[in-house]
């Protein structure tokens, strides 16, 4: 913008000084999320509001001066969706972190966007309820960020993803108006479903300032098993047998050999390094041992070399912790990673993993893969040295080739991380010209000046 002082003066007219950050070094820490290869600019100011009215004031000031605004949560995203643009207002919602209500009769929680996922889960648990979506970053990621990226998690095979739990939203629009969508009731079909429209919109349509979320009764403690396989193909065969057999595990996750060894190197967890693929399955049913026995038999029939059920909660939690450590473990291999989240039909998982292995060999790179196997959501993680230009180039090309493979197998370029900056060039290929035109029309309706999170998605 022409005069940053005008922006700061307008913001200060209704915001406390502690809500504004202008120190360049501090602002730099707010400039990007956790994604590699995503450009980030230098913001003019970082604003940390605590009230809806303060958010409205920011948007009115930004609209008056035509300044772009980038909404942010905890910046744990993996697509560059929270990256700043030059001269923008970074609008960090982390200070709006109150749980406003938990209603055990209606089974809902009403929260501000800065509430951490794990904080809500624990608060609901005290009332015998649970909030099922559980991204691997659940200890740090916020509900607002989860809504913005439509995130999933380890339990989505049984309980679904964030979009299925968002009943209603309060959203500050680009011009500062407050829009309420959805409901507090279990049912409701009045008008277009604007709530679902905002879920996954990556802050490009409005700023979520309150959410009404559905809760579930807390399930029994889950028990898990680990099955070792001599090949990824055999593990994928087991996954197909489990799903075709009508089983509903609370968790079904796959880790390839590269990921298993990385987790062991990071945390010394003693996972079996001789396996080519490690399948983790868990049940939170009334008789989890029986369900695990049935699934174990299917794994053995598919070629598992060993099936080890956990004896108790502690062993089960250890297996789940191993899976949650997959990303930091792979990051430790070379210091930098590119994380894909291509989702394919479960029946094509074997083809996807075989193709990823071929890509890794073609480009001479380490690519570890962990998979939300129950819903076909793969996370190929390209490990590379960012100081090596040739290796960085090969990393980017391999990443693109994996996305192309996912589309060719009938999948999608993103199952839960979002498009952001990292995948915007691929969005048009998946949507097609008509779909892209309709989505751009929606963006124009909500944000005619193009101020909200510019440069993302489209």
Question: pLDDT tens-digit profile of 415-426?
Answer: 999 999 999 999
> What SS3 class is residue 295?
helix
Q: pLDDT tens-digit profile of 200-252?
A: 999 999 999 999 999 999 999 999 999 999 999 999 999 999 999 999 999 99
Distance between the two ends of the chain, CA-based, in angstroms? 22
User: Contact, 304 vs 355, CB < 8 A?
Assistant: no
Q: What is the topology classification, in CATH, of domain 223-408?
A: Vanillyl-alcohol Oxidase; Chain A, domain 3 (3.40.462)
- The number of residues making up the chain comes to 458
Report the topology of domain 99-217: 3.30.465
Same CATH topology for 4-92 and 223-408: the answer is no
For the chain, the domains span 4-92, 99-217, 223-408
Q: Residue 13, class by beta-carbon neighbours within 10 Å (0-12 exposed, 13-18 middle, 19+ buried)?
A: exposed
Q: What are phi and psi of 436, to 5 degrees?
A: -65, -40
* H or E element, residue 318: helix 313-324
Residues 6+ apart with CB under 8 A from 158: 248, 249, 250, 251, 284, 374
Q: pLDDT tens, position by position, for the chain (458 residues)?
A: 567 789 999 999 999 999 999 999 999 999 999 998 899 999 999 999 999 999 999 999 999 999 999 999 999 999 999 999 999 999 999 999 999 999 999 999 999 999 999 999 999 999 999 999 989 889 999 999 999 999 998 889 999 999 999 999 999 999 999 999 999 999 999 999 999 999 999 999 999 999 999 999 999 999 999 999 999 999 999 999 999 999 999 999 999 999 999 999 999 989 999 999 999 999 999 999 999 999 999 999 999 999 999 988 888 999 889 998 998 999 999 888 999 899 999 999 999 999 999 999 999 999 999 999 999 999 999 999 999 999 999 999 999 999 999 999 999 999 999 999 999 999 999 999 999 999 999 999 999 999 999 999 98
Q: Does domain 4-92 have CATH number 3.30.43.10?
A: yes
> Distance between CA atoms of 316 and 226, rounded to whole angstroms?
9
């Amino acid at each position: 913008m022409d005069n940053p002082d005008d922006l700061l003066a307008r913001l200060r007219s209704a915001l406390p000084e502690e809500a504004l950050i202008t120190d360049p070094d501090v602002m730099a820490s707010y400039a990007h999320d956790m994604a590699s290869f995503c450009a980030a600019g230098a913001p003019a100011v970082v604003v940390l509001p605590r009230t809806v009215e303060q958010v409205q004031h920011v948007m009115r000031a930004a609209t008056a001066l035509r300044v772009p605004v980038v909404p942010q949560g905890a910046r744990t995203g993996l697509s560059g969706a929270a990256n700043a643009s030059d001269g923008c207002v970074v609008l960090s919602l982390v200070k709006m972190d109150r749980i406003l209500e938990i209603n055990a009769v209606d089974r809902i929680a009403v929260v501000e966007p800065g509430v951490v996922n794990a904080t809500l889960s624990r608060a609901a648990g005290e009332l015998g309820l649970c909030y099922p979506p559980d991204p691997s970053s659940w200890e740090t990621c916020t509900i607002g960020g989860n809504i913005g990226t439509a995130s999933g998690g380890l339990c989505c095979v049984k309980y679904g993803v964030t979009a299925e739990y968002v009943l209603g939203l309060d959203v500050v629009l680009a011009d500062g108006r407050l829009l309420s969508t959805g409901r507090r009731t279990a049912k409701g079909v009045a008008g277009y479903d604007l709530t679902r429209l905002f879920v996954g919109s990556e802050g490009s349509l409005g700023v979520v300032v309150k959410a009404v979320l559905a809760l579930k009764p807390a399930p029994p403690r889950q028990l898990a098993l680990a099955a070792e396989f001599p090949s990824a193909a055999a593990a994928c065969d087991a996954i197909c047998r489990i799903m075709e057999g009508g089983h509903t595990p609370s968790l079904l996750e796959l880790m390839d050999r590269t990921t298993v060894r990385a987790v062991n190197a990071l945390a010394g967890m003693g996972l079996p390094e001789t396996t080519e693929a490690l399948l983790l399955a868990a049940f939170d049913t009334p008789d989890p041992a029986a369900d695990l026995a049935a699934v174990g038999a299917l794994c053995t029939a598919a070629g598992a070399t060993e099936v080890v059920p956990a004896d108790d909660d502690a062993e089960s939690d250890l297996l789940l912790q191993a899976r949650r450590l997959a990303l930091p473990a792979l990051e430790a291999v070379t210091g930098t990673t590119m994380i894909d989240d291509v989702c394919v039909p479960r029946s094509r998982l074997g083809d996807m993993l075989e193709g990823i292995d071929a890509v890794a060999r073609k480009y001479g790179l380490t690519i570890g893969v962990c998979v939300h196997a129950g819903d076909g959501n793969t996370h190929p993680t390209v490990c590379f040295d960012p100081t090596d230009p040739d290796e960085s180039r090969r990393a980017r090309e391999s990443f693109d080739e994996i996305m192309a493979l996912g589309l060719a197998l009938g999948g999608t370029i993103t199952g839960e991380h979002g498009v952001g900056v990292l995948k915007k060039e691929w969005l048009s290929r998946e949507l097609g010209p008509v779909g892209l035109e309709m989505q751009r029309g929606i963006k124009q309706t909500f944000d005619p000046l193009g101020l909200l999170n510019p440069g993302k998605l489209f």
